[in-house]
Structure 1
Amino acid sequence: MNTKWDEENIEKLLTQAPKIQDHRSKEEIFAKLQAAGAFEEEPVQQPPVTQRKRRSYKWVSSIAVAAVVTCGVGISMFINMEDEHDKASNIAMQNENEQGSDNEAAETEAMGGASTFAADDVMTARTAIPNDSSPVYEDNVGDGEVFTFSLAGEEDVSIPSAIVIPREKLVEDLGKEKPSQAEMYNFYAPKLDEKGFGFEEQHPIAGEVTEDGQELVIALENPENQPMDKTIKETFPQYDEILLEKGASASDQIGLATMSLGQNYSYYLFTQQDKKYFVQQPEAAYNHVDEAILGMTGHATEKYESAIVEGITFTVTTADYVHVKFDQPLDLETIDYVQAKHMLEGMMLTAATFKQQIIFENIVQTVWDRFDFTQPQPIPVAPNELPLDIIQP
């Protein structure tokens, strides 16, 4: 074995040592070594120069190599230990962050679940509300037909009502999918269970109901004892003209009257058996839609309750549509749900008597319940939808 060591051999040995890779500055490494106490050892006492003995180059060289290697390995181990410590700290911090994120996500999910639950509760509460005074809309009719009629409520109040009859039942009962109102009335009016639903009996009208184009002809057997005017108009709102005739004798076949359809009324609310219905207030008639909507306040009585929520004011203008603008921003979520719905639908029904659509303005919500306030509201087909089982088999 060659035991001769010189600078060349030492350099060669050092090149074979493991390479140390560290991107930290010298100052940072020095600070870490200093903090670790690497420079706190007592200096080695050297003997006086006169007492030193000449050592062989071999021994000195061996010590130098060992020192260099030891120092290099020591620094490497220290750096590696520092790296492992930093890695461990980073992993711990990462775990804490991940755990915090998981907890935050869990909290967020819980809050989201709570929000969903709250929203579901609201929807459940709304669906649990009795379906008072709900108009019929075109998108609810489907491929069926709307059968309209007027019911006799308490205190001589006329309640316009409607039933959506499915196509299958129309085909089964009348042999056609699209019967006229006159045909539906002649078949279904005798089957109406008016008393069973808390109303006075007044259907069918004693007489013959026929259709002549857009004109409805009612030949009354006994006009003096039959419901007239408003009741007939609410039973047959689809016709532009209604002709009433006597049928007692041939000399009386001249028309009694052609009902005037020019006057309309504001919709109010009437309560019967703890249920509210939309009804027309007959004490004030209007020729213009803006007057009729503004007339939804100011004519309340013990029988007729205004559908406008107390304290809410608005203006009405007419152009391409009827524009109802609330004087103050209207937040519907701060109002009782049923009252808010009655107010909006009462206005829509009042405008519908003039065959007009409403655009609501200055409402906080863009979409609420079935309403999209960015669009003109649909014209309700009829007020006060009743269940199909009011028609007896």
Structure 2
Amino acid sequence: MPNDKWNDEEIENLLRDFPKIQDRRPKAEVYKKLSHKEQAPKQPKRWLPLLVAIVTFLSISVLVASLLQQNGTDSSSESESSEAESTMATDEAPTEQTEPADGSTKESEGAASLAADGPEVKRSAVYESELEGAHVLRIGLAYHGYVVPTSFVIPEQLADTAEPNALELYETFAGQIDESGLGFDEYHPYEGELQQNGSTISHFLPDGHSYDQGSASTLLYLNSLEQTFMGQQEIRVLNEDGEAAQLSHVGTAEPLVPGEQGQSFYLLASSTSEWHLAPAYGMSPENVGDALMALQQSPNEDYRTPIPEGVSYRVEVDGMNATLIFEEPLDLEALDGMEAMQMIESMALTAQSYGSSLTVSNTAQVEWAGFDFSKELELPVSPNRIDWLEK
């Protein structure tokens, strides 16, 4: 006990009170028993069965885990193999089902390959070879003081007569054109009366007409007449009495001869930001060679050159035959399709306006978008094509 205090004397007294232990056996007997004392039997090792059970359990666990892993790997491999076979079967199935006996698969693949190369580049001007069953209404549309010749291709069944002349086409369809919707100013039909006699167009101006309000309006009017009736030999501007009209800024109106002077065709934008090919009035050289070379530079800030940056060429002229040669082999497919088309057609329209043929050489493509560069180009008959929709 922690509070009890013991001393040596008390301990000795306590020990004396214990009874004395006595062994009355003979010494011989005690010695004999000590000599022949049997060994006590060993206690059995109770932990050994437990150890064996643990080792057995662990061995079985490792074996089972190994077997499960092997089975899982085999199952995964079989699953992947089955999936691969299923995929292969799926991929092959359409081919087997859709492959025709006549071998048109190659044609389909070819068409798909062409489609992958991008949309087809189409010519934007009008060509004689594309006019079967149609008439062309060429009209000079106005925008901000400039004239853009535009060609409406009209199915022949819509015309009032089988072979309408230029004036009949104009009077039938000009009033139906949505000029503002196309990005131009509302300008047509002309004020006053128009008459056609053979290949001569006469315009009788009424009193108070709006074509003489300034030099710009007069030039716009005259350029519009020329582009609208480009196929005629002569255009006369008359007053109501049938005499040559007096225009404030030009004096007596002289007869116009459409196409008398060739024109360089540049790019000109309308209010829709669409670029059209249009002649540079009063800014074009006198010969086809200089006119083709001039296309590389814009004549003013309103026109834009149709020649892409980095493209250069020279021009050789032999009489009425012009040859345009690119300084470096030109890959038309490497250019933007529309830009490439505008370049080629501006050259062709420029040559056509001067009455010259045109050969383009040193191109990577022999044929491209309807053009055959191995010979003289087919020249347009009119720019900026719009197909007339039946109403």
What amino acid does structure 2 have at the position aligned with 1:267? F
Identity %: 25
Report the alpha carbon displacement of residue 187 of structure 1 after superposing the two structures with TM.
1.9
Q: Is 1:135 aligned with 2:128?
A: no
Q: 2:222 aligns with which of 229, 252, 259?
A: 229
Does the 8 Å contact 1:215/1:241 carry over to 2?
yes
Partner of 1:158: 147
Question: Where does residue 290 of structure 1 map in the other structure?
Answer: 289
Unmatched 5+ residue regions in structure 1? 1-105
1:117 aligns with 2:106: no
Which residue does 2:333 correspond to in 1? 333
**TM-score in terms of structure 1 length:** 0.63
Indicate the residue corresponding to 2:371 in structure 1. Answer: 371
Contact 2:266 2:346 (C-alpha < 8 Å) held by counterparts: yes
| Inter-CA distance 178–112: structure 2 relative to 1 (3 Å threshold) | closer
How many angstroms apart in 2 are the aligned matches of 1:228 and 1:304? 19
Which residue matches 2:264? 266
- Verify the 8 A CA contact 1:151 1:158 in the aligned structure 2: yes
For residues 233 and 110 of structure 1, do their structure 2 counterparts lie closer, same or farther at Cα, with a shift above 3 Å needed?
same
State which structure, 1 or 2, has the greater radius of gyration over its C-alpha atoms: 2
1:201 aligns with 2:186: yes
Counterpart residue number, 1:103: none
Deviation at 1:262, TM superposition (A): 2.9
Provide the TM-score with structure 2 as the length reference: 0.63
- Kept in 2, the 8 Å contact 1:208–1:220? The answer is yes
> Cα gap change, 1:251/1:215 in structure 2, threshold over 3 Å: closer, same or farther?
closer
Q: Which has the higher helix share?
A: 1
Give 1:270 shift: 1.7
Shift of residue 195, structure 1, vs aligned partner: 2.1
- What is the rounded CA distance, in whole Å, between the counterparts of 2:245 and 2:184 in structure 1? 33
Cα pair 2:126 2:383 within 8 Å, conserved: yes
The separation in 2 between residues aligned to 1:164 and 1:113, in whole angstroms, is: 33
Match of 2:120 among 123, 126, 129: 126
- Whether 1:182 and 2:172 are equivalent positions in the alignment is no
Alignment check: 8 A CA contact 1:244 1:257 kept: yes
1:311 is aligned to 2:296: no
Inter-CA distance 363–252: structure 2 relative to 1 (3 Å threshold)? closer
Counterpart AA for 2:377? Q
1:329 partner SS: strand
Offset at residue 300 of structure 1 (A) = 4.7
CA-CA distance at 1:145 after TM superposition: 1.0
- Separation in 1, partners of 2:297, 2:245: 43
**Partner SS for 1:168:** helix
The CA distance in 1 between the partners of 2:269 and 2:181, in whole Å, is: 17
- Give, in angstroms, the shift of residue 111 of structure 1: 9.8
Q: How far did residue 241 of structure 1 move?
A: 1.8
The residue type paired with residue 170 of structure 2 is Y
Partners in 1 of 2:262 and 2:356 — Cα distance? 13
* Residue 304 of structure 1: how far off its partner (Å): 1.0
Which AA in structure 1 matches 2:235? I
Question: CA–CA distance in 2 between the matches of 1:310 and 1:180?
Answer: 42
For residues 308-349 of structure 1, what are the alpha-carbon distances to aligned partners after superposition, in whole Å with 9 as ceiling and x for unaligned? 111211121222522111111112122221111111011001
**What is the CA-CA distance between 1:196 and the residue it aligns to?**
2.6
Compute the displacement of 1:298 (Å). 2.2
Structure 2 residue 360 is matched with structure 1 residue 360: yes
Query: Which whole-Å CA distance do the structure 1 matches of 2:328 and 2:381 have between them?
Result: 30
Gaps in structure 2 of 5+ consecutive residues: 1-98, 247-251
Q: CA deviation at 1:282?
A: 2.6
Task: Decide whether the 8 Å contact of 2:155 with 2:388 is kept in 1.
Answer: no
Q: Following TM superposition, by how much is the alpha carbon of 1:150 offset from its aligned partner in structure 2, in angstroms?
A: 1.1
**Counterpart amino acid of 1:263?**
Q
Aligned to 2:321: 321
Kindly indicate whether the alpha-carbon contact (under 8 Å) linking 2:150 and 2:383 is maintained by their aligned counterparts in 1.
yes
Over the aligned positions, Cα root-mean-square deviation in angstroms equals: 2.7
- Letter aligned with residue 233 of structure 1: E
Q: Please, which moves more after superposition, 260-269 or 143-152?
A: 260-269
Give secondary structure in 2 for the equivalent of 1:149: strand
Worse-matched range after superposition: 212-221 or 200-209? 212-221
- For the structure 1 residues 229 and 252, does the alpha-carbon distance in structure 2 shift closer, same or farther, using more than 3 Å as the test? closer
Q: CA deviation at 1:267?
A: 0.8
Equivalent position amino acid for 2:223 in 1? K
